[in-house]
Amino acid sequence: MEAICKGVKENGGLTIGIIPYKTKNQANKYIDIVIPCPFSQARNIVVVLAGDLVLAISGKAGTLSEISLAWIYNKPIVALSSVEGWSSKIAN
């Protein structure tokens, strides 16, 4: 996620990070607005509902949870098929 935030910042964008930690100081240096949310399932709901779509790149159980929530809440899902993990399994 840090690389994505860095790219956004380098191109003049605003970054928002819903981080899986208790404090804001644990965020990477490229996040402008930090939202700590150390509760995994609650965080996944916040991430899905806050976004316009879910972009799945690889992933394990947490990614599968986010994909499932996106499906439940009718959010578009984009899944990268050229990598391992859940994204390639659902992309086909």
- Cα-Cα end-to-end distance for the chain: 24
Note the pLDDT tens digit of each residue in 16-35.
999 999 999 999 999 999 99
If asked whether residues 90 and 52 sit together in one domain, one would say: yes
Q: In terms of residue numbers, what domain contains 27?
A: 1-38
If asked whether residues 44 and 34 sit together in one domain, one would say: no
pTM over 0.85: no
**DSSP track, 36-85:** E---HHHHHHHHHHHSSSEEE-S--HHHHHHHHHHHHTT--EEE-SSSSS
If asked whether residues 50 and 73 sit together in one domain, one would say: yes
Q: Tell me how far apart the alpha carbons of residues 26 and 58 are, in angstroms, rounded to a whole number.
A: 24
**How many domains does one find in the chain?**
2
Residue 1 has pLDDT above 90, yes or no: no
The percentage of residues in the chain with a pLDDT greater than 70, rounded to a whole number, is 100
